[in-house]
Amino acid sequence: MRRTRTLKPRRIFTRRKYRIHALLVAAAAIVTGCAQDLSDYSAAQSAKDIQVRWVSVDHPVLFDPGSSVLSDSERFRLDAFVAGLALRDSDRFVVDVASADRLAGARANAIVQRLRQHKPGARAAQVSQGQAPARGVRLVVGRYVALPPNCPDWSRPSASNPGNVNDSNFGCSRATNLSLMIADPADLVRGRNLAPGDGEALSLGIRRYRAGQVRNPAVIETNDE
């Protein structure tokens, strides 16, 4: 009698199945490598913002005893100080006096009048803080300044970015250009108050347009050759 031998089933990997298995393993490794890591979030990717700061400079002005008239030398020094600041419309002026008597007020007024030679319509608040010279006043000029971010910033390599996060230089050009173009950095701190509008005057253009009475722009003659 012939005896039969029972063979246990064996799993046979074909070449095709082996390739599929290898591809799945490689795909899993790639997905794991592309996963966002906490190390990708660092200060390098922080928003590039403009820093607005208040700065002030002061200039002491001396007078002769008992006088509120600027001497030639002090007037020259004051004019040089103001001219070097390139005054802006948003500048604030403060005149610090040594006391609150009439002579100190006259000296402060002399400074304001001279200041208006450089900036018509300039106004200055008068204070007594004890920082003015004994026989003079102290002119303080303050303004807001816009400081651009530290750019360019290539602290984070931009060649590999699997997490698709902003690079370290993102936003540098925008913030830098705005800080250089803005006329009054104080507008970045608070907005300006809107002046009352004249609706009747603004509607005249529409009325003339509907009535066919459009005004042509004024002709300007130039000497360009």
Position 133 in a domain: yes
Position 81 in a domain: yes
Task: State the distance between the two ends of the chain, measured CA to CA, in whole angstroms.
Answer: 125
Q: Residue 56: what are its φ and ψ, rounded to 5°?
A: -145, 150
Express each pLDDT in 146-197 by its tens digit.
Answer: 999 888 888 777 677 677 777 788 888 889 999 989 888 888 888 777 777 7
Nearest CA to 43 out of 162, 165, 164, 160 is that of 165
The average pLDDT across 135-146 equals 91
Express each pLDDT in 98-131 by its tens digit.
Answer: 888 899 889 999 999 999 999 888 888 878 777 8
Model confidence at 216, pLDDT cuts 50, 70, 90, reads confident
Position 108 in a domain: yes
Answer positive or negative: Cα dihedral of 177, 178, 182, 185.
negative
**b vs e for 202-225, b when ≥16 Cβ sit within 10 Å of the residue's Cβ?**
eeeeeeeeeeeeeeeeeeeeeeee
Q: What is the CATH number of the domain that holds 99?
A: 3.30.1330.60
Question: So what's the pLDDT on residue 44?
Answer: 45
Position 207 in a domain: no
Position 188 in a domain: no
Which residue would you say has higher pLDDT here, 56 or 217?
56
In this structure, of 18-27, 35-44, 85-94, 173-182, the range with the lowest mean pLDDT score is 35-44
Looking at the structure of the chain, the number of domains it has is 1
Nearest CA to 139 out of 196, 58, 68, 211 is that of 58
Q: What is d(CA 42, CA 167) in angstroms, rounded to the nearest whole number?
A: 10
Position 23 in a domain: no
Q: Which structural domain range is residue 71 located in?
A: 56-146
Q: Confirm whether pTM is higher than 0.75.
A: no
**CA angle in degrees (0–180, nearest 5) for 126-187-111:** 20
